[in-house]
A and B are shown apart, each in its own frame.
Chain A
Amino acid sequence: DSGVTQTPKHLITATGQRVTLRCSPRSGDLSVYWYQQSLDQGLQFLIQYYNGEERAKGNILERFSAQQFPDLHSELNLSSLELGDSALYFCASSVAGGEGETQYFGPGTRLLVL
């Protein structure tokens, strides 16, 4: 158990809908990362937050957004969902988000868009 929690575990929805994925980092970790894992694209970095502020952005679509709240939990919002958005979404956390820091991954949310 990494100490990172994610809800929900599974999510089934329809195209065009909007969903929110939630992540709670390990106790004491200030930085949160979101990743998308699909069969054809592997593990892709989406976005990083540190203590409530966006720190780095990766291959995140404009239809996707995220935020980190004062209690350090984070939410990833996916809107106007398409079939291709079906994937595993992982959250990871680290102490301060600096270079060389270990990231601890949560169990993931499996999203299926029908």
Chain B
Amino acid sequence: GENVEQHPSTLSVQEGDSAVIKCTYSDSASNYFPWYKQELGKGPQLIIDIRSNVGEKKDQRIAVTLNKTAKHFSLHITETQPEDSAVYFCASRGGSYIPTFGRGTSLIVHP
């Protein structure tokens, strides 16, 4: 089955800095890659996603890049703010209907 590796497990940045979270996947049939943000006490919320026919997608301060050849995709957050502090999960979905999730990255943004 699909295996998704996510790094780093913890990321600490100063407000205003950029943050990058990286994921690799194993199934070459995977074609949909969502990113979720989970705040304390809440369920994961979709923040951005990318499909395999696109290399990059942006939404304000958030961007995702996909390298299908290398089987990795990354989340980029620019101008980080304290409210960006949360756990971020990447996921990969392809041959089956079910996404496989990374183990999560705890992002801490210091004011």
Query: Do these two chains interact?
Result: yes
The interface of chain A, by Cβ under 8 A from chain B, is 2, 4, 33, 42-43, 45, 48, 55-56, 58, 90, 92, 97-100, 102-108
The B84-111 residues at the A interface (CB cut-off 8 A) are 89, 93-94, 96-104
User: Are A107 and B42 in touch, CB under 8 angstroms?
Assistant: yes
User: Are A99 and B89 in touch, CB under 8 angstroms?
Assistant: no
User: Are B43 and A105 in touch, CB under 8 angstroms?
Assistant: yes
Q: A45, A55, A107: which contacts B43 (Cβ < 8 A)?
A: A107
The interface residues of chain B lying within 8 Å CB-to-CB of A4 are 43
User: Are A105 and B45 in touch, CB under 8 angstroms?
Assistant: yes
**B22 contacts chain A at the CB level, 8 A cutoff:** no
A-B contact count (CB 8 A): 53
User: Are B98 and A43 in touch, CB under 8 angstroms?
Assistant: no
The interface residues of chain A lying within 8 Å CB-to-CB of B42 are 107-108
The B15-40 residues at the A interface (CB cut-off 8 A) are 31-32, 34, 36
Which residue on chain B has the smallest CB distance to residue A105? Answer: B43
Most buried by A among B46, B94, B102: B46
Roughly how many angstroms separate A28 CA and B44 CA in the complex, as a whole number? 20
Q: B36, B49, B98: which contacts A48 (Cβ < 8 A)?
A: B98
Q: A2, A45, A108: which contacts B99 (Cβ < 8 A)?
A: A45
The B28-82 residues at the A interface (CB cut-off 8 A) are 31-32, 34, 36, 41-46, 49, 51
